[in-house]
């Protein structure tokens, strides 16, 4: 069956700086896909020859799985990576007691020593061993020889290894596995970059910047380039830095202080102690001030928190989870006001009122007598990502429950990296009042169920064996769903936990 390949390139320039994110599925009817990313880093040897380190990342939760004799689940992906006439072949193997629950991101590294700085074809062939599905993607690797070669900074994991493949300049260099932005949750970040230069005086300038391009205090520094390869390994303390998205910027300056090369790598920092720090900063908002300033009704403050839950960032989620369990309305009111002042400083109250109008429309479209629209899965997805690009609606036909497939050409959310060509599958198993529940999505951070098509059927066990509890390519149809959140209405996502 013909496959479709959807790719997202995070910034491409003439020196090949990109993260290639592949979201692959053969067709909606197959219901099986794989999330796989390539991050090629171009560098120079001490002699000035080019080589490429290609870091490949796989989301193991998107593999197909089969049960082994010991009742564990096994998934495997074969990868053939080709650059020019050089080939690297490797496989990802993941075994767990429960197929996709808690499956991690898996990292592999391939290194290609090249003969010249000429453009080369790059191709990746993927094969899911269990489902026998295959995908292929081709592009061109553009390399340009300059006086100075600068590699893109790599955000490092805390993992240390003695494997020769991950050694660079005498130290272990293991990138933080990611399919988008690396996520840092500990109060420090370490990164690695290197530059190559011959016959000249050059300086490496490095710094950490926020989304506005402002330099984070204490992160600015210089290092003089030596003849050949100059490694740069830097660690930043993030304990005094607010959660958010930051960029590691590395520049090469010549003797006239002119920038002749520049690279940037972004990452997301999530401070797990954000709540305690946030509570200390400023006074709580009183009832009179909240009402008189036109922010809304005091008794609706807890509900306002639920309304904005779908659109907040990762760091704000941590605060919301604590606020919802506290009876301190003044603290919650302070969060609401601060949130809109930070999100729309030019018109915070006007933006908040506009959002309330969207909430009203979502309630009318997705709500029911028992549940507000913004608390439904459909309402949450609509608020978080906007209207879908395409909706395929399948009403009740007697054999399957009513369901809808939402497709997004592009997903943008403050809590996830930008993504392309993602789907959401909703099903109404209750058959009362359009109570659609999200059972599967290909998007990062969303619930995944490779057997979503199976769960659409009203006869969940249509085989000849009425006691059968598993199929070849997925998890237990019945009992195991209790432990891996596949029971409809109990998806175990952050949004569900917040609303419980």
Which pLDDT band holds residue 486 (cuts at 50, 70, 90)? very low
- What are 446-464's pLDDT values in tens digits? 887 767 877 787 754 444 4
pLDDT at 472: 41
Are residues 179 and 326 both part of a single domain? Answer: no
Residue range(s) defining the domain that contains residue 426? 275-499
Decide: 271 and 243 in contact? Cβ < 8 Å: yes
Are residues 368 and 481 both part of a single domain? Answer: yes
Q: In whole angstroms, what separates CA 150 from the centre of its chain?
A: 26
Question: Given a cut of 70, is residue 399 above it in pLDDT?
Answer: yes
Are residues 322 and 194 both part of a single domain? Answer: no
Total domains in the fold of the chain = 3
Please name every residue paired with 75 in a beta bridge, in sequence order, or none if there are none.
Answer: 94
Question: Given a cut of 90, is residue 285 above it in pLDDT?
Answer: no
Are residues 134 and 166 both part of a single domain? Answer: no
Are residues 141 and 166 both part of a single domain? Answer: no
For residue 146, CA distances in Å to 15, 65, 117 come to: 10, 47, 10
CATH code of the domain in which 267 resides: 2.60.40.2550
239's CB contacts (< 8 A; 6+ apart) are 187, 188
pLDDT at 489: 32
Are residues 299 and 444 both part of a single domain? Answer: yes
What mean pLDDT do residues 186-195 have? 95
- 299-302 CB contacts, 8 Å cutoff, 24+ apart: 301/329, 301/332, 301/333, 301/336, 302/329, 302/332
Residue that finishes a domain, picked among 217, 237, 271:
271
How many CA atoms lie less than 13 Å away from 286 in the CB half-sphere?
Answer: 3
Give me 328's structure tokens. Answer: 């301190």
CATH code of the domain in which 17 resides: 2.60.40
pLDDT at 29: 30
425's CB contacts (< 8 A; 6+ apart) are 403, 404, 405, 438, 439, 440, 441, 452
Backbone conformation region of residue 272, classed left if phi is above 0, alpha if psi is from -120 to 50, else beta? alpha
Are residues 235 and 307 both part of a single domain? Answer: no
- What are 161-170's pLDDT values in tens digits? 999 999 998 8
Residue that finishes a domain, picked among 223, 256, 271:
271
For residue 69, CA distances in Å to 73, 97, 103, 130, 444 come to: 9, 12, 20, 15, 31
- What are 14-54's pLDDT values in tens digits? 233 333 444 333 222 333 468 888 999 999 999 999 999 99
pLDDT at 229: 95
Are residues 181 and 245 both part of a single domain? Answer: yes
Are residues 141 and 152 both part of a single domain? Answer: no
Q: Which of 58-62, 117-121, 471-475 has the weakest average pLDDT?
A: 471-475
112's CB contacts (< 8 A; 6+ apart) are 51, 52, 54, 83, 84, 86, 88
Question: Given a cut of 80, is residue 3 above it in pLDDT?
Answer: no
Residue with tokens 């590395």: 250
Distance (Å, whole) CA 495 – CA 307 = 11
What mean pLDDT do residues 357-379 have? 91
CA angle 468, 471, 477 (to 5 degrees): 65
Q: Which residues of 183-208 are buried (b: 16+ CB within 10 A; e: fewer)?
A: ebeeeebbbbbbbbbeeeebebbbbb
Question: Given a cut of 90, is residue 498 above it in pLDDT?
Answer: no
Are residues 324 and 381 both part of a single domain? Answer: yes
- Of residues 321 and 94, more confidently modeled: 94
Are residues 126 and 156 both part of a single domain? Answer: no
Decide: 264 and 250 in contact? Cβ < 8 Å: yes
Mean pLDDT score of the chain, rounded to an integer?
80
- What are 244-271's pLDDT values in tens digits? 889 999 999 999 999 999 999 999 888 7
Which pLDDT band holds residue 63 (cuts at 50, 70, 90)? confident
Are residues 100 and 161 both part of a single domain? Answer: no
Residue that finishes a domain, picked among 90, 122, 145:
145
Question: Given a cut of 60, is residue 348 above it in pLDDT?
Answer: yes
């Amino acid at each position: 069956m013909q496959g479709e390949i959807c790719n997202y390139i995070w910034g491409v320039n003439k020196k090949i700086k990109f993260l290639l994110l592949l979201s692959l599925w053969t067709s909606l009817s197959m219901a099986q896909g794989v999330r796989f990313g390539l991050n090629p880093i171009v560098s120079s040897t001490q002699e000035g020859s080019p080589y490429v380190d290609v870091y490949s990342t796989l989301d193991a939760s998107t593999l197909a799985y089969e049960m082994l004799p010991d009742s564990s689940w096994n998934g495997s992906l074969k990868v053939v990576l080709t650059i020019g006439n050089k080939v690297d072949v490797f496989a990802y193997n993941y075994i767990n007691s429960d197929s996709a629950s808690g499956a991690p991101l898996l990292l592999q590294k391939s290194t290609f020593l090249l003969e010249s700085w000429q453009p080369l074809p790059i191709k990746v062939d993927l094969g899911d061993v269990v489902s026998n599905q295959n995908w292929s993607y081709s592009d061109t690797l553009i390399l340009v020889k300059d006086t100075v070669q600068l590699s893109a900074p790599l955000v490092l994991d805390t993992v240390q290894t003695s494997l020769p493949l991950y050694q660079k300049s005498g130290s272990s260099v293991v990138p933080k596995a990611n399919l988008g932005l690396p996520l840092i949750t500990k109060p420090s970040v370490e990164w690695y970059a290197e530059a190559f230069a011959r016959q000249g005086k050059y300086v490496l300038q490095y710094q950490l910047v926020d989304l506005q391009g402002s330099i984070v205090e204490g992160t600015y520094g210089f290092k003089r380039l030596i003849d050949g390869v100059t490694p740069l390994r830097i660690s930043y303390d993030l304990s005094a830095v607010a959660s958010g998205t930051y960029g590691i910027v590395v520049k090469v300056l010549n003797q006239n202080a002119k920038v002749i090369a520049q690279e940037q790598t972004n990452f997301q920092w999530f401070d797990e102690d954000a709540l305690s720090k946030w509570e200390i900063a400023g006074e709580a908002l009183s009832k009179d001030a909240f009402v008189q300033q036109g922010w809304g009704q005091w008794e609706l403050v807890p509900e306002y928190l639920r309304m904005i839950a779908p659109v907040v960032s990762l760091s704000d989620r941590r605060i919301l989870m604590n606020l919802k369990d506290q009876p301190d309305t003044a603290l919650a009111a302070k969060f609401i006001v601060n949130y809109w002042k930070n999100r729309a400083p030019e018109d915070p109250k006007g933006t908040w009122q506009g959002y309330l109008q969207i909430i009203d429309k979502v309630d009318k479209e997705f709500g029911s007598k028992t549940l507000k629209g913004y608390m439904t899965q459909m309402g949450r997805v609509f608020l978080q990502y906007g209207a879908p690009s395409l909706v395929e609606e399948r009403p009740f036909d007697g054999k399957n429950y009513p369901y809808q497939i939402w497709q997004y050409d592009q997903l943008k959310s403050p809590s996830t990296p930008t993504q392309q060509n993602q789907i959401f599958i909703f099903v109404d198993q209750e058959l009362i009042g359009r109570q659609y529940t999200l059972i599967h999505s290909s998007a990062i951070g969303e619930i995944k169920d490779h057997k979503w098509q199976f769960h659409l059927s009203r006869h969940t066990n249509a085989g000849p064996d009425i006691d059968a509890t598993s199929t070849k390519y997925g998890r237990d149809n019945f009992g195991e769903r209790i432990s891996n959140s596949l029971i409809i209405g109990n998806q175990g996502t952050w949004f569900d936990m917040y609303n419980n």
